[in-house]
Structure 1
Amino acid sequence: MSELGLNTVSFAGRAAASPQFKVTYAEGMGLVEETAAYLDGPGRSAAKVLPRMASVLYAAESMRLTTRLMQMASWLLLQRAVNNGEMSRDQVISEKSKVRLDGFNVDRNAPGWHDLPEAFRDLIERSLRLQNRIALLDREIYRPSDPSIVPDNQNSVQAQLNLLRTAFDAS
């Protein structure tokens, strides 16, 4: 790798310590609270009147949703701890190995999907968008700093552009 690659600026690292991180943190924690309130209130009532297939899907997706949100909340809390100097980067790297930020995709063609309450599907969609943004931040912040470890096929310019798109995504 060229000497130029050794002097690249980590936009992700700066973004994670910026006021924009506070917005992402607030969004994530707010989504956790909003989801809990929905599942304990209107969601519980709505689930009781769903057709059988949708009812089974609702149960499965609500577990996936809460798991996805808890994983994101864990990552956000770890990042906040490192930003506040409460944990070292190495401690966070060790702890974040327990956090799973991928593998929670949703089958929107599953039988019963369109019978699920719209508010519930909206919570799922919002959680997936937030998960994608957090996973991208995680990859950018914690990728290996040794250029020899980074795969040759990784386009670092494209990765930075994707990160910028994610950071400034208004969705």
Structure 2
Amino acid sequence: MKSVSLVGDGWKNRVTEFASSEVFDRLFKEGMALVEEAAAYLDGPGRQQSRQLDREKALVYAAESMEVTTRLMQSASWLVVQRAVREGDMTSDEAGEDKFRLSAPGELRQLTAVEHLPEMLQDLVVRSRALYERVWRLDETLFAVEETPTENPVGNQLQRLQDIAESGAFDPLAIWRNVK
């Protein structure tokens, strides 16, 4: 994860506005429901299904279930931090600290290794990846560093022309006024 110092206050407003939005409410509910669904599956039917797998597939199952759990816990933690901002329990500055930010999703392996695993685990792998990527993109967008605009020579020249025109030194209609 890159460590950046956040510039300006625009990102603070974005964080606060997002945390108060209906979009956030829906994402929060969706994320927490997926966490509960994954926990119920992995502790119940998933545990029983993993015992029926051969040794190699059981290892793949264990690795994938840990990755699903990690992605979901990181996503849920980020969502809880945003809710804390909305409720006034945490400031935008605190939410912007590195320890509350998400890392970029790593290089994702193809799902070929999991194609022989139970369908429910395969589904949780795909959905947990999708949720994590959505939350990560939001994190990147909300906490984006605002760049200071650089000098724009064309804009500067246009501003100078506008200043001259407004000062009265340049009056293109003067020719027409003198014709009378």
Instruction: Tell me if TM exceeds 0.5.
Output: yes
Where does residue 84 of structure 2 map in the other structure? 81
Q: What is the root-mean-square deviation of aligned Cα atoms in Å?
A: 2.7
Where does residue 117 of structure 2 map in the other structure? 116
Where does residue 56 of structure 1 map in the other structure? 59
CA shift in 2, pair 1:62/1:9, >3 Å: closer
Instruction: Count residues in correspondence.
Output: 140
Is the 8 Å Cα contact of residues 82 and 92 (structure 1) preserved in structure 2?
yes
The gaps in structure 2 that reach 5 residues or longer are 1-9, 150-180
Is the 8 Å Cα contact of residues 29 and 73 (structure 1) preserved in structure 2?
yes
Alignment-mate amino acid for residue 91 of structure 1: E
Percent of paired sites with the same residue: 41
* 1:79-104 alpha-carbon deviations (Å, 9 max, x no partner): 1111222111111112414x445227
3-state SS of 1:115 partner: coil
3-state SS of 1:109 partner: helix
When the two structures are superposed, what TM-score results if normalisation uses the length of structure 2?
0.69
Where does residue 158 of structure 2 map in the other structure? none
Where does residue 134 of structure 2 map in the other structure? 133
Q: Distance in 1 between matches of 2:134 and 2:12?
A: 16
Q: Confirm whether residue 25 of structure 1 aligns to residue 28 of structure 2.
A: yes
3-state SS of 2:84 partner: helix
Where does residue 90 of structure 1 map in the other structure? 93
The gaps in structure 1 that reach 5 residues or longer are 1-7, 149-171
Q: Indicate the structure (1 or 2) with the bigger Cα radius of gyration.
A: 2
* 1:96-155 alpha-carbon deviations (Å, 9 max, x no partner): 14x445227343122xx211000111011111111111111111000102346xxxxxxx
Alignment-mate amino acid for residue 47 of structure 1: S
3-state SS of 2:112 partner: coil
Q: Confirm whether residue 142 of structure 1 aligns to residue 146 of structure 2.
A: no
